[in-house]
Structure 1
Amino acid sequence: RECVEAGRHYGCSVAVDLLGLPDPVAFAASASELGVAWLDVHCAIDQQMSGADPLALIKAVRAVTDLTLAVAGGITSETAAPAVEAGADVVIVGGAITKAEDPAAATADIRKASDTGRPVESKLFKRATAESIREVLQTVRTSDISNGAHSQPCLDGVRQLIPGTFACGPAVTVWAPPGDFAKPVQAIDVAKPGEVLVITTFGLPPAIWGELATESAGNKGVAGLVVHGAVRDTAVIRERGFPVWSTHVCSHCGEPKGKGEINVTIEIAGQRIAPGDWIVADDDGVMVLPAERAVEMANRAADVMEAENRIRAEIRDNNSTLAKVVNLQRWEQEAGGGPRVG
């Protein structure tokens, strides 16, 4: 109320962002009595990264007020039209324009969608849910995931066998003694199509995987293999194109003694991997996305990728350099020592 009165004193209208209110719909219902001019339904960045959108709240707020209603937070050319249909009078857009390689074209698409009520398809700026996480993860790379997760490291020492291969999917985990290939082979039958086998023999040979296991995994639709240990028959694996990451390659294997476990929590390079955690592996390494954080990590990775797309476009279109585009000079310290205070 004090803000509204101050606004009147200076001849200003007051808008209220509903972000963070415990009951935004209840406030919206009484906002006009307070003299508020318009309301903003705002989907916070943390909510966006968890796969949320503001559409349901827009509908609920519109049902209780006739005030001008704005929407912000994760709006794209695909969601602008549904937001208007839900009751938004004003569409506020940030990243879908500022991170677009062609901001003018992106703006035009969003305006077209808002005016016509028909979404304009966009390949970027889509946020994952638990149901669509694979679609998003297939567009990013492990470096994007690392950047979005505050430089989380990949699994140290685990190397790609076939350059250019990529795998992502929920983990089927296995531990077995070095050379005992019984549980790793049995895990193929446990795995569902699109899942990734993650096996530890504690980083030691002999091999627990070869050409026959590869043939079996391919038939089952397994998305890839990560071995904290040794594989062999690599020429055949390369010929088949099956995505494999391992710490060792050797010619000899052990005997199937049946020791070990399938789908239990294991540890590789200091990182715990539980059944169902998401695995993304590419030329740079293997990243683990804990199941409870996988959607958020996927969306933050997509956010990183989108920002870098814009930087790349500025470097290319302006014949510039990375240091100039991101203004690295602002981080330079003055000559003569450490950070300046004051």
Structure 2
Amino acid sequence: MAKKMGFSPESLLKQFSPKKKVKNADLSLENLGLTTSQISDALKNLTGEYGVVPGVKPIKDNLKISGRVITVKTQQDDWGTSLKAVETSSKGDIIFIACDGDKVGVWGEMFSRYAQEKGVQSTVVYGAVRDVEAVKELDYPVFSRSIVPHAGTPRAEGEINIPIECGTVTVKTGDWIFGDDCGVVVIQAEILDQVIVESLKIKKTEEKILNQIAEGKSLSDLLGIK
């Protein structure tokens, strides 16, 4: 459940009119009152794709992230490239690391602490992470496909800022990521405004239906299912 911030879908929709570009400071899930489920539905309505990175979940409950992506592609036993990505990232970025497997950790406590000190917002690993007990204590959001105890080597042979394929989802530096307990959704930068507007419309519709359920209406009737 998103934290209530006193914003209504109607007031937020006015902020994201076709003539106004979204502002980075307005795009937290808390401020928007949105979930990744609503955002994924909106993306599906607009593009036919859900944008969900398969298998990636937060390492602890109630994590919410929203920000610009910097991409990393490397081998599952090469954590050196992950460190290079932290060095090249900007404040507020979300580092997205894609590995060729999820049996060896490419991210852990030291990288999380260093990234946090540099102002990086979060790390999403399409692979494995470790040191999760310590990372949870840092209050630094990390999402991953799996959790393991062992790490690889500092080869630093991967690539940064290149397009990455994760299942049916393509992730590029400059795209936008939303993440919560349900997982991670990637939005192309060019359509971010449209997706937010569509998501807010979906939220408004869902709230109307929930109110009608509370009034005793049939959900089957409301959804047109016979």
Q: TM-score, normalised by structure 2?
A: 0.85
Aligned letter for 2:23?
Answer: S
User: Which has the greater radius of gyration?
Assistant: 1
The gaps in structure 2 that reach 5 residues or longer are 1-7
Aligned letter for 2:219?
Answer: L
Task: Measure how far apart 1:125 and its partner are.
Answer: 4.9
> Is this contact kept in 2: 1:127–1:136, CA < 8 A?
no
State the match for 2:161 in structure 1: 263
CA displacement 1:184-226 (0-9 Å, x = unmatched):
1121121112111100112332111110001011112212111
Select which of 110, 132, 153 maps to 1:234.
Answer: 132
Are residue 278 (structure 1) and residue 176 (structure 2) matched?
Answer: yes
- Provide closer, same or farther for how the CA distance between residues 210 and 179 of structure 1 changes in structure 2, counting only shifts above 3 A: same
State the match for 1:17 in structure 2: none
Task: Measure how far apart 1:322 and its partner are.
Answer: 3.0
Give the Cα–Cα distance (whole angstroms) in 1 for the partners of residues 96 and 115 of structure 2. Answer: 13
Are residue 322 (structure 1) and residue 213 (structure 2) matched?
Answer: no
Give the Cα–Cα distance (whole angstroms) in 1 for the partners of residues 101 and 181 of structure 2. Answer: 20
CA displacement 1:230-275 (0-9 Å, x = unmatched):
1000001111121111111101101101201111111112211110
Are residue 148 (structure 1) and residue 42 (structure 2) matched?
Answer: yes
Aligned letter for 1:141?
Answer: T
Whose relative contact order is higher, 1 or 2, with alpha carbons under 8 Å and at least 6 apart? 2
- Provide closer, same or farther for how the CA distance between residues 270 and 203 of structure 1 changes in structure 2, counting only shifts above 3 A: farther
Give the Cα–Cα distance (whole angstroms) in 2 for the partners of residues 321 and 137 of structure 1. Answer: 34
CA displacement 1:115-147 (0-9 Å, x = unmatched):
xxxxxxx45653264442551452211111111
The gaps in structure 1 that reach 5 residues or longer are 1-95, 101-121, 333-342
State the match for 1:16 in structure 2: none
Task: Measure how far apart 1:313 and its partner are.
Answer: 2.5
Give the Cα–Cα distance (whole angstroms) in 2 for the partners of residues 322 and 222 of structure 1. Answer: 43
State the match for 1:307 in structure 2: 205
SS at match of 1:157: coil
> Is this contact kept in 1: 2:106–2:151, CA < 8 A?
yes
Aligned letter for 2:164?
Answer: I
SS at match of 1:204: coil
Give the Cα–Cα distance (whole angstroms) in 2 for the partners of residues 131 and 320 of structure 1. Answer: 36
State the match for 1:216 in structure 2: 114
CA displacement 1:166-196 (0-9 Å, x = unmatched):
1110100001111211111121121112111
